[in-house]
Amino acid sequence: MALMITDECINCDVCEPECPNDAISAGEEYYVIDPAKCTQCVGHFEEPQCQKVCPVDCIPLNPEIVETHDELYAKYIRLTAAKAT
């Protein structure tokens, strides 16, 4: 599953630079995660880095985007290959 940011976000900007996949950006009202780029940090870290740093705990799993660990890893490989070109 990708992660998502809820409207409890206080726009503190702490999570954005921590994402290894550049999946986080400032949205219209609060920060947003691009599910196509979020691997739950699989391939990079043991745990989601954004969740670790968020001071208000507003980054839950997105229940609408169900992905297995293997799918997340495949996404990581795709994203890394795209970056290398």
Rounded Cα distance, 46 and 55, in Å: 19
Q: Which is nearer to ligand SF4, 16 or 84 (CB)?
A: 16
Choose one: 43-51, 63-71, 77-85; the region binding ligand SF4 (CB under 6 A). 43-51
Q: Does 31 bind ligand SF4 (CB under 6 A)?
A: yes
List the one residue from 7, 14, 27, 62 that touches ligand SF4 (CB under 6 A): 14
Enumerate the H helices of the chain as residue ranges: 49-53, 69-84
DSSP helix/strand/coil, 31? strand
Q: Count of alpha carbons within 13 Å of 83, Cβ hemisphere only?
A: 10
* Contact mark string toward ligand SF4, 46..85, x via CB under 6 A: --xxx--xx-x-xx--------------------------
